[in-house]
Chain A
Amino acid sequence: MRVHAPPASPAHPQLPSRRATLRAAGAGALALGATGGLTACRSAVSVAAGEGGARRGGSLTVGIHVDFTPALLFTQSDQALQQRLIYNTLIRYDEKLRPQPELARSWQYADDGRSITLKLRDDVTFHDGRAFTADDVIFAVENLRKPERSAQLASTARAVTGFQKRGEHELVLKLAHPVANLFDLFEFMIITDRHTLDDALKGRRLNGTGPFRFDRWRPGTGVRLSRNDRYWIPDRPYLDSVELRVYSHPDALLSALRSGQAQLSYGVSGKHLAPLKAAPNFRIKRYDTGSGAAYVGASVGTKPSDDKSFRQAVAWAVDRERVVQQALGGYGLPSAAPWPRSSPAHTEADRIHYTHDPGKARALLKSSGVSTRTRVPLGHPSQPLHTAIAEIVQYDLEQAGIRTELQPHDSATFQKKLISGTMPALWVNLHGFAQVHPATLAVSAYPFNEAKNTSGFRSKAYTDAVRAAWQQRDADGPAAHARYQRVSDQLLEEAFIIDLAIQDQVEVAAARLRGATLNKFSYLSLDHAYLA
């Protein structure tokens, strides 16, 4: 017998008023909350869209996809936008990698390359009022040398053997040998306040000389900065305040930009830019910083990657064009060499040294005699971009006769394998440091390091080529280019790191934002930025 029989059944009590009250109460509560928020006071949407119609003033919200990590202040990490907002560096590279003055007004590199004299600005103060002197530069260099700082340019910092102060604003750096990438160090090294270092590493107080002062950091939410009224560039910055807001999920970041909550971001991947490309109130700019390049790494101590023909077969098998189109959304450069177009080591011949040629790959595979019956493990970080690249590589390798098995790892586990050199035979990842001086790649970036790298590759020829490129004074000119060519030749021949594509840095900005720029290490500069 059913409980809900004809209406006369007692199971259907007539409670119109109670029910109505219930409904009304519920609906009313919700409506009250909503309207109270929406109409009574301010609307969160219009507040967030940014005020400031004039050239001066205004507040900018930058969407970041990784939170600020104070412990990583001195390492090149995924999140470096705030470095040039709170701090300054000694020089600034222009489009052609020529150093321009920042905190260092001028410099004199000795002819033998064993010392450099820096003349520093004398009108700079830290946010707390203290004057900037040569001691701060000395501290910065010594700080970067410490292994705990894990600074990628530590080897360059270690080449500095002594300091000689000539007054408060002139400094001589003595070098163990000529160092070609010295200015990479100066572009990378932020000048922090030596008295508040511990507070800085904890995210409590960051004291610098930059255009914006550090107000506070709310973990998970972001960093708030406000204008430094005593900045050493007169009448700058234009903006009153900047907020770096965390949107860790790519959808959230995209929505924040589209709804106007954020007006600038460098964290949107190329694939997801389609909805913004057509939008009239957005500008998409590509930076050829080459701050990231996708590659396939090979562990030369593990079969079958110990065979050079096998490695070269892999290099011929991958369709680099497809990696750029499908994984990077078209925002990249297919390249067999790690150098972006702006690098002095870049040549077109090297870029297309390996192209998509499954036939050649198969021939090389056959000649290598490597068995294709077993699946080769292919490790990769489990983030969507790396997974997509790994899937493309897997498919292309299969067409050439190499069967692989994907082994995803979360980023910390992957990092551990990378550092300890316990990667499987093949892996996919992104590397940086090809965008500045070519020598920096092989003396800093771990996968390419000539002394010790993840692949476990060592050869006299490679070491000699790298040392020759690093330990000399001139960074440009035909002699230097010849040295870089030697390094490139080694990399391409040995194929222990097989570059696929150089990723563009993509800037998504609201149309009314002008003047935001990025340096070679992805430090955001808003010195001359304003909201129209």
Chain B
Amino acid sequence: MGRYLLKRIPSALVVLVIASVVVFGILRLVPGDAATALAGPDASEESVAAIRRQLGLDQALAVQYVHWIGDLLRGDLGPSYAVGGEVADLIGEGFGATVELTLGALLLTIAIGLALGVLGATSRRRSVRGVVQALTTGALAVPPFVTGVLLVLVLAVGFAVLPSGGRVGLFEAPDLELQYLLLPALCLALPSAAVVGRYLKDSLQQAFSEDYIRTATAAGVSRRRLLWRHALPNALPPVVTLIGMQTGQLLGGAVLVEAIFAWPGLGQLAETGLTARDYPVVQDLLLLLVTVFVLVQLLTDVVHAWLDPRIRWE
């Protein structure tokens, strides 16, 4: 497995380099720059030019790129042009918030997905399977921005049980933070949970239909042991890959959820940064996200290879 890992690393690095060029290029393609955004709605061209000079945006593109990469390699993420402060601080704040939200959503995804999948595959009663099916399809069919708004209307405005949005900080007030976290994490998790649930159910059904299960049952192995020792481990690999891909989904879906619930995470930061054409923020952030994704992909591929030897020797 070490060799597998070694083979994957150079290509991952190439991806990162290409990603940096793509990110840099896309931002320069988008019309307008931080100077226009900073100058405000009634600025004169003279103001814009002065700000542009101040920010170093009048230099050649290649020079700007080299400066950016050079600073990054030295660990300096640079100042934010438009949002304010240092990019490292902004990303740090946002990162904590988004990781919290994503982890919460991931936990809920796994818990709800596991429950839905196992129930849907193993329940004897048609009604239970039907309810699970309905819940799954419902969670998939309603767009997340609608579930978010509905959740807020019912639980925060209607019955003031949970707060409607915002964040306190995990280390400042953990008991309050969990309440702030519940609704957005749930909203984010529902579609993913439904997807995981459905694929786990299919995967389990597939596993149960294999010959060796039937043989084992005939030999008298208990159902419980079958599920946990044989069926689930065989059913899990594709689901693990799926969860890996869902993580990317969750990060992407966080943009919407963060908007609805005023959760100050990386999604909000990216949107604000892009709107304000704050190049350092968006560049550093996107590159960070690509890096995280590549790492997660690497990890899930390794786990997948560990679980399923067939894939390893490709």
Contacts and interface: CB of A to CB of B under 8 A. Distances in A.
B229 to A, nearest CB: 12
Contacts of B112: 26
A202 B86 contact: yes
A416 B115 CA distance: 52
B292 interface: no
A13 B93 contact: no
Interface string A316-350: 00000000000000000000000000000000000
A15 B227 contact: yes
B160 A7 contact: no
A348 to B, nearest CB: 28
A41 B259 contact: no
A445 interface: yes
Given A48-B163, A413-B32, A249 B277 contact: no
A458 to B, nearest CB: 15
B11 interface: no
Contacts of A255: 152-153, 156-157, 164-165
B175 A150 contact: no
A44 B163 contact: yes
B276 A202 contact: no
B114 interface: yes
Given A47-B176, A220-B93, A256-B164, A150 B40 contact: yes
Contacts of A219: 83-85, 89-90, 93-94, 264, 269
Nearest to B83: A219
Interface string B14-54: 00000000000000001111001111111111111111001
Contacts of B82: 69, 71
A15 B223 contact: yes
A414 B197 CA distance: 45
Given A45-B160, A218-B93, A220-B272, 19 more contacts: A13-B226, A23-B119, A37-B175, A38-B179, A40-B175, A42-B175, A69-B83, A71-B38, A76-B42, A150-B47, A220-B268, A245-B262, A249-B259, A256-B262, A412-B31, A412-B36, A415-B41, A446-B41, A446-B44
Contacts of A484: none
B279 to A, nearest CB: 12
B45 A72 contact: no
Contacts of B38: 71-72, 150
A217 B83 CA distance: 12
Contacts of B180: 44
Contacts of A410: 275
B264 A203 contact: no
A202 B118 CA distance: 52
Contacts of A38: 161, 179
Interface stretch (B57-65, B208-216, B298-306): B208-216
Interface stretch (A28-36, A100-108, A232-240, A466-474): A28-36
B95 to A, nearest CB: 11
A433 B42 contact: yes
Contacts of A452: 44
A259 B51 contact: no
A18 B82 CA distance: 55
B20 to A, nearest CB: 22
Contact of B156 (A26, A70, A204, A259): A259
B217 A10 contact: yes
A43 B177 CA distance: 10
B51 A148 contact: yes
A34 B179 CA distance: 7
B155 to A, nearest CB: 10
B111 interface: yes
A434 to B, nearest CB: 12
A170 to B, nearest CB: 32
B79 interface: yes
Contacts of B54: 148
Nearest to A153: B42
Nearest to A69: B84
Given A22-B115, A247-B165, A42 B264 contact: no
Interface in A64-84: 67-72, 75-77
A384 interface: no
B3 interface: no
A461 interface: no
A491 to B, nearest CB: 17
A11 B83 contact: no
B265 A220 contact: yes
12 contacts: A15-B227, A19-B118, A22-B118, A23-B115, A69-B82, A76-B40, A76-B42, A220-B269, A252-B165, A252-B261, A419-B45, A432-B42
B101 interface: no
Nearest to B228: A18
Given A70-B84, A248-B268, A416-B36, A15 B224 contact: yes
Given A19-B122, A43-B179, A412-B36, A248 B259 contact: yes
Contacts of A12: 122, 124
Interface string A432-450: 1100000000001111000
B97 interface: yes
Contact of A7 (B44, B108, B124, B277): B124
Contacts of B218: 10
B162 interface: yes
A181 interface: no
A374 interface: no
Contacts of B111: 26, 29-30
Contacts of A202: 79, 84-86
B166 A261 contact: yes
A64 B301 CA distance: 44
B262 A37 contact: no
A13 B264 contact: no
Contacts of A69: 82-84, 276
Interface string A120-152: 000000000000000000000000001110101
A37 B185 CA distance: 15
A418 interface: yes
B40 A259 contact: no
A260 interface: yes
Given A152-B40, A219-B85, A220-B264, A33 B182 contact: yes
